[in-house]
């Protein structure tokens, strides 16, 4: 049974809070009806996954992976110029390791022939004219007569921010009437980021395990075909109601840290439940 799935930035895109009911095809390799998924609204004590890094937050949030310092402080790991199509607006961006285990972006050389409220964002992917991105990192804004700050933090991107492939300049709304500025909140200038951060998981190998309570969703291969049983190479997983990150990781033969490295913007609550209906990336090349 083939399924069309979003690629790139949307492999873990939220598709709403609705419950995903899996019926019809069996995950277990025969034509028997799929067993009804078991929700975890009131799990037993033995089934309750632990919080990530001691977090007890109750809301759904992307929790960064705790990891050793990727490179020495002061190391430049990415550098680019975000430039508009016309060339009239641009900014130079350099990403440098700090001494907190994360990274900072140094901004310089901002120029424009059309002064207006502006902002800079780091996104997984972007094209000219794209609208807002809820998963953008380091969203920083300044006034039409102002300048960007010299440094912005990329701490929210975690210790391995190389999943962010673009930096964009986005015109911000003004205090007045913006009806004659249809480009507000749309990507005006784009720069591609090429990172030089060592891969922390060079030998990561994902395997396919059977569906189980806590990891009852569908797995897909590179051709968007549903995988059954334990045969095939999974590259994506659709989260079912009641799935938790610990059991999902176990189903695919990896650790929770590896699952989060593959999915740096994965949404969970404080107990590790993953948002039903969201996509999980299982392919390191698609991170």
Q: Which two tokens stand for residue 76?
A: 């430049």
pTM for the model: 0.75
Last residue of a domain, which of 168, 192, 216?
192
Domain shared by 264 and 175, yes or no: no
Residues 145 and 249 in one domain: no
Give residue 218's domain range. 1-67+201-287
- Indicate the number of domains in the chain: 2
Do 58 and 85 have their domain in common?
Answer: no
Confidence (pLDDT) at 70: 86
Give the residue from 142, 172, 192 where a domain finishes.
192
Do 62 and 89 have their domain in common?
A: no
* Boundary (domain end) residue, out of 192, 218, 240: 192
Q: Domain check: are 127 and 178 in the same one?
A: yes
Same domain, 171 and 263: no
β strands within the chain, DSSP E: 61-62, 76-84, 89-97, 103-112, 118-123, 137-142, 151-153, 166-171, 189-192, 218-220, 226-227, 236-238, 267-268, 279-281
One domain for residues 157 and 82: yes
Distance from the Cα of residue 29 to its chain's centroid: 31
Q: Do residues 112 and 167 both lie within one domain? A: yes
Kindly write down the DSSP assignment for every residue of 203-232, as one continuous string: T--------BTTB-SEEE-TTSBEE-TT-S
Q: Are residues 84 and 166 in the same domain?
A: yes
Both 174 and 232 in one domain: the answer is no
The pLDDT assigned to 47 comes to: 38
Q: Is 78 helix (H, G, I), strand (E, B) or coil?
A: strand
Domain shared by 115 and 174, yes or no: yes
Q: Is 8 helix (H, G, I), strand (E, B) or coil?
A: helix
Does residue 49 sit in the same domain as residue 133?
no
Assess contact for 272 and 246: CB atoms under 8 A. yes
Note the pLDDT of residue 14.
38
Spatial contact of 102 and 154, defined as CB atoms under 8 Å apart = yes
Residues 142-151 as b/e (b if ≥16 CB within 10 A, e otherwise) read beeeeebeee
Of 101, 254, 121, which Cα lies nearest the Cα of 186? 121
* Per-residue pLDDT in tens (0 to 9) along the chain, 287 residues: 455 444 443 444 433 433 333 333 433 333 333 333 333 333 333 333 433 333 333 345 555 545 678 899 999 999 999 999 999 999 999 999 999 999 999 999 999 999 999 999 999 999 999 999 999 999 999 999 999 999 999 999 999 999 999 999 999 999 999 999 999 999 999 999 999 999 999 999 999 999 999 999 999 999 999 999 999 999 999 999 999 999 999 999 999 999 999 999 998 988 899 999 999 999 999 99
């Amino acid at each position: 049974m083939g399924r069309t799935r979003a690629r790139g930035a949307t492999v873990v895109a939220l598709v709403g809070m609705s419950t995903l009911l899996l019926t019809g095809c069996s995950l277990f390799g025969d034509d028997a009806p799929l067993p009804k998924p078991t929700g975890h609204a009131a799990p037993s004590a033995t089934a309750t996954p632990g919080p990530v890094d001691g977090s007890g937050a109750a809301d759904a949030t992307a929790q960064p992976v705790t990891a050793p310092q990727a490179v020495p402080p002061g190391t430049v790991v990415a550098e680019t110029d975000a430039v508009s199509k016309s060339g009239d607006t641009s900014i130079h961006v350099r990403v440098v390791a700090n001494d907190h285990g994360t990274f900072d972006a140094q901004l310089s050389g901002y120029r424009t022939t059309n002064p207006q409220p502006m902002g800079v964002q780091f996104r997984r992917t972007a094209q000219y004219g794209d609208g807002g991105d809820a998963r953008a990192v380091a969203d920083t804004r300044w006034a039409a007569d102002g300048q960007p700050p010299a440094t912005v933090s990329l701490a929210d991107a975690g210790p391995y921010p190389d999943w962010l492939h673009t930096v964009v300049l986005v015109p911000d709304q003004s205090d007045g009437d913006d009806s004659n500025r249809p480009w507000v909140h749309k990507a005006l200038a784009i720069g591609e980021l090429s990172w030089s951060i060592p891969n922390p998981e060079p030998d990561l190998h994902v395997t396919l395990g059977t569906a189980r309570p806590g990891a009852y969703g569908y797995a897909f291969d590179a051709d968007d075909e549903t995988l059954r049983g334990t045969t095939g190479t999974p590259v994506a997983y659709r989260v079912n109601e009641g799935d938790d990150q610990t059991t999902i990781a176990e189903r695919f033969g990896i650790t929770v840290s590896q699952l989060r490295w593959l999915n740096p913007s994965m949404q969970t609550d404080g107990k590790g439940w993953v948002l039903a209906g969201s996509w999980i990336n299982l392919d390191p090349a698609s991170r």
